[in-house]
Amino acid sequence: MARNQAKKLFWSIAHAIEQCNDTQIKNANGEIEGLGIAMSEDCFVIYEPENATIKICNKDFETISFITEEILPVIDELIEVIEI
C-alpha cells in the first residue's frame, strides 16, 4: 500500500467514524476528545482528532490497539511478507 493510499484509507475511516458516531469521549471540562462507534458491548473504535489516532478500546475505554496513518503501510507490508 502506497503512503498516499494509506493516508486516504485512514482519513476515510476517521471521517466515517465522525459521521456515524454513537459514542463520545469527553474530558473533565465536557469537551469532546474522541468520537466512536460501539462494535459490541465490549469493544469501541474511537477516533481522536487531536492526535489523529483511531483507537480500539475495551468496555472501560482502555486502549487495546491503535491505528495511525503511518502504521497502515507497515501492516500492509507485513501481510505481504507473511503471505496472508
Per-residue pLDDT tens digits of the chain, which is 84 residues long: 677 888 888 999 999 999 999 999 999 999 999 999 999 999 999 999 999 999 999 999 999 999 998 888 888 888 888 876
Phi, psi (5° rounding) for residue 65?
Answer: -155, 170
The amino acid occupying position 44 is F
Res 77: pLDDT: 83
Q: Classify residue 71 as exposed, middle or buried by CB count within 10 Å of its CB (0-12, 13-18, 19+).
A: middle
Res 24: pLDDT: 95
Res 17: pLDDT: 95
Q: Edge to edge, what strands does the sheet with 43-48 contain?
A: 23-26, 32-40, 43-48, 53-58, 63-67
What's the rounded Cα separation, in Å, for the pair 46 and 74? 21
